[in-house]
Amino acid sequence: MIRFDSVFKRYPTGREALAGVSFQIERGEMAFLTGPSGAGKSSILKLIALIERPSRGSVVIGDQNTAALKTRAIPQFRRRIGVVFQDHKLLPDRPVADNVALPLIIAGVPEREIDKRVRAALDQVNLLGKEKSLPLELSTGEQQRVGIARAIVAKPPLVIADEPTGNLDPALALEIMRLFKRLNDVGVTIVIATHDVHLIEQFPSRRIVLGEGRIDAITPPGARASTPNAGVTP
Amino acid sequence: MNVEAYFLRQAQTLVGSLGRIARHPFASAMTMAVIAIGLALPLCLQLLLQNAVAMTSGWNDAFELSVYLQKAASPARAEAIAHTLRQRDDVATVRLVTAAEALAEFREYSGFGQALDALSDNPLPITLIVTPSLAASSPEGTTALKTAIAAISDVGAVQIDSDWVKRLVAILELLRRVVWLTGGLLGLGVLLIIGNTIRLDVLNRRAEIEVMKLVGATDRFARRPFLWAGIWYGLGGGLLAVGLVALGVAILAGPVGRLAALYGSGFHLAGLTWQTAGATILGAAALGWAGAWLAASHHIRGINPS
């Protein structure tokens, strides 16, 4: 589903966020990107969602080599990826239902179907009945669940999440993680960037540990992944 | 995207953008007022031009020609010339003024009565007052007629009192160009005003556009509500401009009518026609759309999720 080959990412500021990262995540897998702040977790997610392009190396999502993708084709590409943010990125002046419906509206799904699918998505995150609330009327945990509902409403085969539990207390964080696990159980590929190692100990999934733009370790070791030093320039 | 969903979405965007404008009534009204003033100015000039043309169109008699015969020409010869002229296609009427009549007229209007008494004989020639036909009532037509008449024997001089008419026509033509120029410039101004307003709207909703792009919105999709907003600003401004001009005409119509009456004219100030009003409003909406398109396309392209 996701393959990084010797990926380098240097930002215009000169900061090198990724220095030769290679890994592979299979379809239907759930994987955690961990490591301290600035290790390159967010950069990897941005490269997956095509918010950034790699400076060097190749990123293949699905069967699509992202380097071959023209700017014009990016919107269509992003519709097949659900993205969850630490700060939710909800539209504060729109009710929950409109926020969740946004990807469907953008994709031009007919109205009747939108209602149905929005309710189904809200049901999955246990927020049925909150359709008309504004995001700010909800708790942080609920807002995060609205964000997840928005990410899954268009049934993308891949969902990526950047520190989805960053602002939540441990109980809420666990609940959100279980929600991702349930999604994964129905076949969605999930990639979650988090620094909360204690939380993910409870989930026996692939772990890609980053440090200073390189991969320090990939567990379980049986997983297919290349060594961190592949293609690294001195 | 299916067609039904597309139109439903357009309708929702249309209403949504109207709602957004209504939620900021003061700012929106300011924008529309600026647009209205920008449009009202050329509209007023156009109206002035239209009224000037209407007022001067009744002045065809200004193209009369005075044909002075030579002193030696006999009254019979004058009749003959008048007869010849009446046969011409480009002549409507010919009025013969005998030397005696001319003298009486001159005595009456000039105030030189006593001076004329001192003259032993009548110094005035026989005069023919020639009115060109309607088709020949143009500066070119009368000039041609003048040349033709001057060539007839026994004709001393032909005079057209149309120089000032030519000047008037030239002034009106100039005014017409001025209307186009100001219209063009102020139209451009309206385009830029709307563009700038939309630019601020886009930047204010930057976060929202980023989120939309993150979940797969195309630039077109993100741009759509702004295009509608531009159309609304234009429509509002256009309506307001037409209202302003109509109000101005209503205020001026009475005094203009009274002034015209004092000059013995039945002239009435003509207001905006429905066509002009409609064209102004639609044109303003089109300008709004165009301004919004330019600004929104440019600025939305620059907003990318980070």
Give the chain B residue whose CA is nearest to the CA of A108. B1
User: Cβ contact (<8 Å) for B306 and A109?
Assistant: no
What's the mean pLDDT in B16-33?
87
User: Cβ contact (<8 Å) for B9 and A83?
Assistant: no
User: Cβ contact (<8 Å) for A79 and B5?
Assistant: no
Confirm or reject contact between B204 and chain A (CB < 8 A): no
Q: What is the ipTM of this complex?
A: 0.84
% of chain A exceeding 70 in pLDDT: 94
Cβ contacts of A49 on chain B, cutoff 8 Å: 214, 305
Instruction: Tell me the angle at which helices A140-152 and A170-185 cross, rounded to the nearest 10 degrees.
Output: 10
Average pLDDT, chain B: 86
What's the mean pLDDT in A176-202?
89
Phi, psi of A21 (to 5 degrees): -105, 130
Q: How far is A220 from chain B (nearest CA, A)?
A: 31
Q: How far is A56 from chain B (nearest CA, A)?
A: 19
Strand ranges for A48-141 from DSSP E: 56-61, 64-65, 81-84
Q: In this predicted structure, what is the pLDDT of residue A104? A: 92
What's the mean pLDDT in B199-227?
92
Q: How many separate helices (H) and strands (E) can be counted in chain A?
A: 7, 10
Q: Which of B5, B210, B212 sits opposite A111 (nearest CB)?
A: B5
User: Cβ contact (<8 Å) for B304 and A76?
Assistant: no
What's the mean pLDDT in B248-277?
85
Cβ contacts of A77 on chain B, cutoff 8 Å: 216
Q: Which of residues 218-257 of B touch A (CB under 8 A)?
A: 218, 221
A137-150 pLDDT, tens digit per residue, is: 999 889 999 999 99
A77-99 pLDDT, tens digit per residue, is: 999 999 998 888 899 988 999 99
Cβ contacts of B221 on chain A, cutoff 8 Å: 75, 106
Q: How far is A45 from chain B (nearest CA, A)?
A: 11
A232 band by pLDDT with thresholds 50, 70 and 90: very low
pLDDT at B146 over 50: yes
A229 band by pLDDT with thresholds 50, 70 and 90: very low
Give the least confident one: A21-25, B19-23, B54-58, B81-85: B54-58
Q: In this predicted structure, what is the pLDDT of residue B58? A: 59
A2 band by pLDDT with thresholds 50, 70 and 90: very high
% of chain B exceeding 70 in pLDDT: 96
Q: In this predicted structure, what is the pLDDT of residue B24? A: 84
pLDDT at B185 over 90: yes
User: Cβ contact (<8 Å) for B8 and A91?
Assistant: no
% of chain B exceeding 90 in pLDDT: 34
What's the mean pLDDT in B250-256?
89
Give the least confident one: A20-29, B104-113, B285-294: B104-113
Q: In whole angstroms, give the CA distance from residue B270 to residue B258.
A: 14
What's the mean pLDDT in B234-262?
91
Cβ contacts of B305 on chain A, cutoff 8 Å: 49, 51
What's the mean pLDDT in A14-43?
89
B162 band by pLDDT with thresholds 50, 70 and 90: low
Q: Which of B8, B210, B215 sits opposite A78 (nearest CB)?
A: B215
In chain B, the domains with their CATH numbers are 3-58+166-301 (no CATH), 65-160 (3.30.70.3040)
Q: Which of B4, B8, B215 sits opposite A102 (nearest CB)?
A: B215
Q: In this predicted structure, what is the pLDDT of residue A222? A: 46
pLDDT at A136 over 80: yes
B98 band by pLDDT with thresholds 50, 70 and 90: confident
User: Cβ contact (<8 Å) for B215 and A111?
Assistant: no
A200-224 pLDDT, tens digit per residue, is: 888 888 899 998 888 888 887 544 4
Cβ contacts of A106 on chain B, cutoff 8 Å: 212, 215-218, 221
B1 band by pLDDT with thresholds 50, 70 and 90: low
Average pLDDT, chain A: 87
Q: How far is B9 from chain A (nearest CA, A)?
A: 8
Q: In this predicted structure, what is the pLDDT of residue B62? A: 58
pLDDT at B11 over 90: no
**Residue A120: in which H helix or E strand, if any?**
helix A111-124
Confirm or reject contact between B306 and chain A (CB < 8 A): yes
In chain A, the domains with their CATH numbers are 1-80+157-234 (3.40.50.300), 92-155 (no CATH)
Q: Which of B2, B4, B215 sits opposite A103 (nearest CB)?
A: B215
User: Cβ contact (<8 Å) for B4 and A110?
Assistant: yes
Q: In this predicted structure, what is the pLDDT of residue B280? A: 93
Q: In this predicted structure, what is the pLDDT of residue B73? A: 83
User: Cβ contact (<8 Å) for B216 and A111?
Assistant: no
Nearest residue to B12 (alpha-carbon basis) of A94, A88, A156: A94
More confident residue, B57 or B51: B51
Q: In this predicted structure, what is the pLDDT of residue A223? A: 45
B58-76 pLDDT, tens digit per residue, is: 565 557 788 888 888 888 8
B91 band by pLDDT with thresholds 50, 70 and 90: confident
Q: In this predicted structure, what is the pLDDT of residue B15? A: 81
**HEC profile for chain B?**
CCHHHHHHHHHHHHHHHHHHHHHCHHHHHHHHHHHHHHHHHHHHHHHHHHHHHHHHCCCHHHHCEEEEECCCCCHHHHHHHHHHHHHCCCEEEEEEECHHHHHHHHHHHHCCHHHHHCCCCCCCCCEEEEEECHHHCCHHHHHHHHHHHHCCCCEEEEEECCHHHHHHHHHHHHHHHHHHHHHHHHHHHHHHHHHHHHHHHHHHCHHHHHHHHHCCCCHHHHHHHHHHHHHHHHHHHHHHHHHHHHHHHHHHHHHHHHHHHHCCCCCCCCCCCHHHHHHHHHHHHHHHHHHHHHHHHHHHHCCCCC
User: Cβ contact (<8 Å) for B216 and A103?
Assistant: yes
Confidence (pTM): 0.74
pLDDT at B36 over 70: yes
Sign for the pseudo-dihedral over CA of B127, B133, B138, B140:
negative
Q: In this predicted structure, what is the pLDDT of residue B59? A: 62
A225 band by pLDDT with thresholds 50, 70 and 90: very low
